[in-house]
Structure 1
């Protein structure tokens, strides 16, 4: 199985032209060898974060495999590059594809981020659905940056656990910073998958399939958490439309 894939720049991030099967095969290939490899499922919010956050812009493409999590991202990539992507690569769904293949291989998974309650429920979900996957460690998020000493301890714990895959659920962009910063330090595939933790733990409901297919998942999430998310979606969706139209109408290469 080849682990090569093509990347296409959309404003800042370099997205991989992959589907669920090819992305999960690439991840399992690196995971089985315990190679340090970064993955992010990046939707519109993360894409716009990489535009407005200079620090994130500088490191986002250190992540090896960035998949088009959102339907608007997929539509834009198809529009600019004529890729013919038939589906987005949604982080929570990609997580299931990876866990299914990890279950066949008997790989070890480390859970990094989120709350104790969510991690406990996610652990139970994985053990029930994928019994051959070994949960080799769990780390509750500090919800702040780790000190140098704490970070060193975290890296040692993960590497000593012999994890093949580290699922990272810290929210965007904190999880992307973490994955980018730990390339070459953590001997595993690190997957920034955010809401996958809450969805598979059962602490947050996913949007219906018809809303996901129409690119309206953001609206469902907005109804769930209006106080926290209204500003994010108002700004990021508007900025995405602006940049898309700017580059499309001017017939420019969609990269900054």
Structure 2
């Protein structure tokens, strides 16, 4: 059995947790029970590279309470660089279901923030079909614009008034991480940046075959589904990630991890 309590490890300057589904779910649900602010994201290659390319965002990511290795290449990096011994990634959509399952079992209401209203209209019955005991405290679609002055407080008040104990945030990377970082000081509950989980569980995106997921070929599947939107992400960022990973392993590049950001975020996207 591997030790999943190794804490955070440096992957290209982004601090990623050595964790598995059970440990990650337990930490999130514990924070929900204790009504404690707790920011979570699951990072694949694209998520890590957003930090590499933007030092301010890197520092923001490094302030998160929990950053899971969403993609196989991120898991491989933890094993290669730090001997983590992880046998599986902690994939955002799967982690979402595990957290929702436990929330349903314990009666912890969930708030869904992000995506579009048509997606949410499909997602809510899908989740309730999987977990009949699930309490959905509120649903709020993305406005696809920058937040207005003071709007973060209004959003936080709506979420708190709903009785929610966990917030799932589906705004896409890096908008969802910026949102979760900005909202964490205002909410005494976990905020999970869950990426494409809303689309997957609403039945709008199909997961690739298990063998593609195992061998880190999920990017190829996604590229085939959305080539115009995703080609730059995968064609340019994947080689850059591998190059920097090799340089970090060989000691040719020192991947410094910026200190956790503490300043409030203004003008984030909602």
Q: TM-score, normalised by structure 2?
A: 0.90
Mapped pair 1:228 → 2:246: no
Conserved in 1, the CA contact under 8 Å of 2:104 and 2:131? yes
Conserved in 2, the CA contact under 8 Å of 1:11 and 1:254? yes
Distance (Å, rounded) in 2 between the aligned partners of 1:57 and 1:82? 23
The Cα of 1:4 is off from its aligned counterpart by 6.7
The one-character-per-residue Cα deviations of 1:195-247 (angstroms, maximum 9, x if unpaired) are 00000000111111110000000000000000000011112101101101111
Post-superposition, which runs of at least 4 consecutive aligned residues in structure 1 deviate over 6 A? none
The Cα of 1:148 is off from its aligned counterpart by 2.0
Distance (Å, rounded) in 1 between the aligned partners of 2:6 and 2:143? 35
Residues 143 and 99 from structure 1, CA distance in 2 versus in 1: closer, same or farther, beyond 3 angstroms? same
Distance (Å, rounded) in 2 between the aligned partners of 1:255 and 1:223? 34
Distance (Å, rounded) in 2 between the aligned partners of 1:226 and 1:51? 23
Mapped pair 1:59 → 2:57: no
The Cα of 1:54 is off from its aligned counterpart by 2.9
The one-character-per-residue Cα deviations of 1:163-222 (angstroms, maximum 9, x if unpaired) are 111000000000011111112211210000110000000011111111000000000000
The one-character-per-residue Cα deviations of 1:37-90 (angstroms, maximum 9, x if unpaired) are 000001100100001123312311121100000000000110011110010000
CA RMSD, 1 decimal:
1.6
SS at match of 1:125: helix
The Cα of 1:149 is off from its aligned counterpart by 3.2
SS at match of 1:183: helix
Mapped pair 1:133 → 2:134: yes
Mapped pair 1:18 → 2:23: no
In structure 1, the partner of 2:265 is none
Q: TM-score, normalised by structure 1?
A: 0.95
* Number of residue equivalences: 254
Distance (Å, rounded) in 2 between the aligned partners of 1:252 and 1:52? 15
